[in-house]
DNA sequence: CATTGATGTAGACAGTGACAACATTATGAA
DNA sequence: TTCATAATGTTGTCACTGTCTACATCAATG
């Protein structure tokens, strides 16, 4: 332990953690740099040393969110099993992340869409679809999925699953459980994407 | 014309119009009650007579958005033609609205999801799916669509189309045009929803 | 007319994001 | 070791914001 009040362990991560917690509890509009500084027992000017802007703080938060999301999806894609199983795993992972991080996801898309979004943020966000594209391309090669541009197929799938997730966080599924809704959409996607086989 | 500076025609609508324009150009974060008051040539306290809160202003904005969206969708559903045609019209109307009012739509969902959302707002938002549900139920009765809970089918369809719209505003369709993406998803939905007929 | 309710004004207050000047610490070259 | 320098934190300040309160003005109604 050093002499006392000055140096912090690493303020940047501390601030991000508090920020994440605040966003989860009170939404983005409840986020204040000064309150964050108070949470971290630090003067109101300190955060500026680590984040030029409030916007920069939000960007860092969004980037972290995309990285965790991508990790969850690639992990899900790495499970062993049939194409259907793995595809469902990815979809479930995506929906779960969105449901458990609803406010953060809103922030993620807002910031990414913003005019001053950094290149790495946009790139990381775009990479979200990567695992799905790869899985579909692989399944195409194995003959389990109909031919066609894998990006296009992945886009359709990604959009549908994303829609379920968003509606789930908007209380629009009227009694239907999230799992049920996800399964319904995945069923439809799988039947629409499957290679036309001898089973007709 | 009255004597002069005091009474305004109807400030409430004027404020809403300026607010809508500001949100369209600068997003929700660029919205300030005081700036709005300046735009309307009115003192900074005047808006409080029409909107208790900034939140109340946002709610009114969101409500108006949902009403316009619902109108656009029911209009689209009212076009004559086959089920496929009308369904595609609804989907296109939804995607168009979202693309043309991206910032507003974000606000709409945020406010609706918020803890202090008014009952009418939630109800109006929920009604968005109404036109789709009605159309699907009608098509089921006519034998053009497979049986099953129409709400459930509509939910899947709505979610997928919503996903396309959101991804479209997030620059995630990588060169594919919005119309193309919409068509692809609609094609998939139609083939998945159609009644199993003699064509197999 | 006088009252009353609706609407707009003016002033104040605390909180916020951003900036600048200064203080403290760590580090590394001499 | 010493000391210049960069990194990090502090303090004070500024303009701006949302909200509140007291007051002014208007419209309508008895």
Which nucleotides of strand D lie under 7 Å from a protein CB? 7-13, 16-22, 25-27
User: Are B109 and A170 in contact (CB < 8 Å)?
Assistant: yes
Of the pLDDT bands very low, low, confident and very high (cuts 50, 70, 90), residue B198 is low
pLDDT of the residue at B4: 40
User: Are B164 and A167 in contact (CB < 8 Å)?
Assistant: no
CB-CB neighbors (< 8 A) of A129 in chain B:
172
pLDDT of the residue at A180: 93
Q: Mean pLDDT throughout B53-70?
A: 98
Spatial contact of A102 and A169, defined as CB atoms under 8 Å apart: yes
> Around Cβ B189, how many Cβ atoms within 10 Å?
23
Spatial contact of B77 and B90, defined as CB atoms under 8 Å apart: yes
Parse chain B into domains and list their residue ranges. 10-51, 70-193
pLDDT of the residue at A9: 77
Query: Would you say residue B2 has pLDDT above 70?
Result: no
Distance A102 CA to C11 C1' (A): 41
Average pLDDT, chain A: 92
Query: Would you say residue A197 has pLDDT above 80?
Result: no
User: Are B167 and A158 in contact (CB < 8 Å)?
Assistant: yes
Nearest residue of chain B to residue A172 (CA atoms): B126
Place of tokens 């990790």: A71
- For chain B, the residues whose C-beta falls within 8 A of a C-beta of chain A are 27, 102, 106, 109-110, 112-114, 122, 125-126, 129, 151-152, 155-156, 158-164, 166-167, 169-174, 176, 181, 184-185, 188-189, 191-192, 200
pLDDT of the residue at B183: 96
**CATH dotted code for A55-193:** 1.10.357.10
pLDDT tens, position by position, A30-47:
999 999 999 999 999 999
Longest dimension (CA), chain A: 76
The CATH topology of domain B70-193 is: Tetracycline Repressor; domain 2 (1.10.357)
CB-CB neighbors (< 8 A) of A192 in chain B:
188, 191-192
pLDDT tens, position by position, A111-170:
999 888 999 999 999 999 999 999 999 999 999 999 999 988 999 999 999 999 999 998
The token duo for B88 is: 């595609």
Q: Mean pLDDT throughout B118-147?
A: 95
Query: Distance of alpha carbon B22 from its chain centroid, rounded?
Result: 18
pLDDT of the residue at A55: 97
Task: Give the predicted TM-score (pTM) of the model.
Answer: 0.92
Share of chain A above pLDDT 70, in %: 94
User: Are A126 and B172 in contact (CB < 8 Å)?
Assistant: yes
The token duo for A118 is: 């950094």
The token duo for A157 is: 């799938």
The helix (run of H) or strand (run of E) holding residue A82 is: none
pLDDT of the residue at B170: 85
Closest residue by Cα to the C1' atom of nucleotide C15? A34
pLDDT of the residue at A4: 39
Class of domain B10-51: mainly alpha
CATH superfamily of A8-51: Homeodomain-like (1.10.10.60)
Q: Which residues, in sequence order, are bridge partners of residue A194?
A: A145
pLDDT tens, position by position, B152-194:
899 999 999 999 999 999 877 777 899 999 999 999 999 999 8
pLDDT tens, position by position, B65-122:
999 999 999 999 999 999 999 999 999 999 999 999 999 999 999 999 988 899 999 9
pLDDT of the residue at A6: 54
d(CA B156, CA A182): 9
Query: Would you say residue A93 has pLDDT above 60?
Result: yes
pLDDT of the residue at A198: 53
| A52-65 b/e (C-beta count within 10 Å ≥ 16 → b) | eeeeebbbbbbbbb
pLDDT of the residue at A7: 55
Query: Would you say residue A110 has pLDDT above 70?
Result: yes
């Amino acid at each position: 332990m050093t002499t006392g009040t000055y140096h912090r362990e690493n303020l940047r991560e501390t601030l991000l953690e508090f920020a994440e917690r605040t966003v989860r509890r009170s939404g983005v509009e409840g986020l204040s740099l000064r309150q964050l500084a108070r949470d971290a027992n630090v003067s109101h000017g300190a955060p500026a040393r680590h984040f030029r802007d409030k916007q920069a703080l939000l960007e860092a938060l969004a980037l972290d969110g995309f990285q965790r999301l991508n990790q969850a999806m690639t992990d899900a894609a790495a499970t062993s099993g049939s194409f259907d199983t793995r595809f469902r795993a990815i979809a479930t992972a995506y929906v779960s992340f969105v449901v458990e991080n609803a406010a953060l996801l809103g922030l993620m898309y807002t910031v990414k869409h913003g005019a001053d979004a950094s290149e790495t943020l946009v790139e990381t966000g775009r990479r979200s679809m990567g695992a799905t594209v790869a899985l579909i391309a692989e399944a195409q090669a194995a003959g389990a999925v109909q031919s066609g541009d894998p990006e296009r197929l992945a886009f359709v799938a990604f959009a549908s699953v994303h829609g379920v997730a968003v509606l789930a966080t908007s209380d629009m599924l009227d009694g239907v459980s999230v799992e049920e809704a996800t399964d319904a959409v995945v069923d439809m996607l799988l039947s629409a994407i499957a290679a036309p086989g001898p089973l007709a």
